[in-house]
Structure 1
């Protein structure tokens, strides 16, 4: 699962950087590289969205890891 986590994180970072460029400079890097709403651009946007949804699972896993670590420290 670590590979999937890394891919999701990279896609979320790409999405965040693209949204930052749009917000600050009105510049859509993904659309510039792959064309405005071409099929490939839509696939990139969809993958970034799915990665963002998957990234929600990071919160639960981090909390579970901390709880397990605390249990081992008590002994």
Structure 2
């Protein structure tokens, strides 16, 4: 997994936590941190956009073959 994929995954996790908070507690952490007002709302929208783009980048992780798993699948440990 390269650096871009790791950053995207972290942002997707942040987005998932934020949506969990919205669903369970009706609390939007991103809007609270970055504000919901006129100028501060721009920063929250940037974060939302980055999380969305990260979700698209993470799709490549989902469909990427995992060579380590494939190689270890054929490995038979000796008793």
TM-score by length of 1: 0.81
Give the 5 Å matches for 1:44-59: 44-59=47-62
Among 33, 40, 43, the alignment partner of 2:46 is: 43
Root-mean-square deviation (Å): 2.2
- Structure with the higher helix share, 1 or 2: 1
Paired residue total: 71
Name the structure 2 match of 1:20.
20
Gap regions ≥5 residues in structure 1: none
TM-score after normalising by structure 2: 0.77
Structure having the higher Rg: 2
